[in-house]
Amino acid sequence: MDPSSSSIQEPFDLIRLSLSERVYIKLRGDREVTGVLHAYDGHMNLILSDVEETILIVDPDSATEAPVPVNVAKRKMDMLFVRGDGVILVSPPSRA
């Protein structure tokens, strides 16, 4: 389709496509977030609603030899402001 190709001129146009859609966001510090994207800006600050955050907690003290256990903590929030400097990746959620 012609408009679909021509209207994308910069990376942010792709993020714009995901407005009010569910997105998957990878953050620094082993955090992941999925939520409905409401707004973003040039710093990649994001506003998400209906968010589920996943934090991977690695505990290096428990055992040095064996594979380090990874704990997963999850929490839900209605509305979230994500500061742009922590954002590594923004993508539409995989549609299996």
Partner 1 sequence: MFFGFEQKDLEKGKQAFRTDATHDTEEVPVFTWGDESYDGLGDALQEGGDELNDETFGSVGLVGKDFDFSNTTLPKSSGLPNEQALPPQKFAEPASSDTLYALRRKQDFTTLDSDQPFSSSSQSAESIWDNRSLLSSLPQLDGIFNQSKQAFAEAPVSELPMPQTQKWAPQSSNSGIRTLEEIEAEMRAAAHQSRVQQRELSLQQQLQQEEDRRQQTLHEQELQRQILHQQEQQHQLYLQRLLQQREQQYQRSTPPRMLPASQSPRFLEQQRQLLLLQQQQRAQELQEQLMLEEMERQLLARAALQQQHRQSPIPPSHHRPPSLTPDVYGYQRRQTRSQSPMNNDHRYPGIPQESSPFPSPQNIQLQQRLLSEMAQAEFIRNIQNQDGQGINPVEQEALRAEAMRKILEAEKMEEKRRRKAAKIAYMSRYNDLMTQSDKDFITRIQVSQLVTQDPYADDFYAQVYGAILRSRMGLQSQDERVLIFGSGGGVGLGLNGPKGGGRRPSAMQRMEQQVERIVNNTRKREEEKGVHALQSLQGALGKTSGRSYKAAPRQLLQVDPASGASPAISQAQAFKDPGDRVSNGAEEAAKLGRATLGKAADTTNLIRREPLTQRETLTILEHLYDLVLHVEQLRRDHSLAQDEQQTVEWQQQYDTLVDEIWDSLRVMVPLETSDPHPFISLLIPGKGKRLLPRITRHLSDQKMMTLLTLLVACFSQLDVIKQASVIDYSQDTLERAEAERQTQAFLGNAFQCILPVVAKASLRLVTGLLGLLLDRSNIIMVAQTRPGLALLTLFLSRVELIKADMVNVPEEFEVPTPEEAQQWQLVYDHFFQLLGPHFPMLFPSARMATATDGQVSFDIIDQPAWHFFAALGLHAVPEQQHVLITALREKILDNVTSANKGWVRNDEERQLKLDNVNLLLHVLNLDSSLIVL
Distance CA 44, CA 89 (A): 10
**Site residue total, partner 1 (CB under 8 A):** 21
User: Does the footprint of partner 1 cover residue 83 (CB under 8 A)?
Assistant: no
Which range touches partner 1 (CB under 8 A), out of 8-16, 24-32, 54-62, 78-86? 8-16
Residue 25 vs residues 1, 14, 20, 71, 94: alpha-carbon distances, Å: 28, 14, 14, 19, 12
Q: Which residue number, 2 or 61, has a Cβ lying nearer to partner 1?
A: 2
- Give the residues across from 39 on adjacent strands: 47
Which of 12, 19, 30, 57 lies at the binding interface for partner 1 (CB under 8 A)? 19
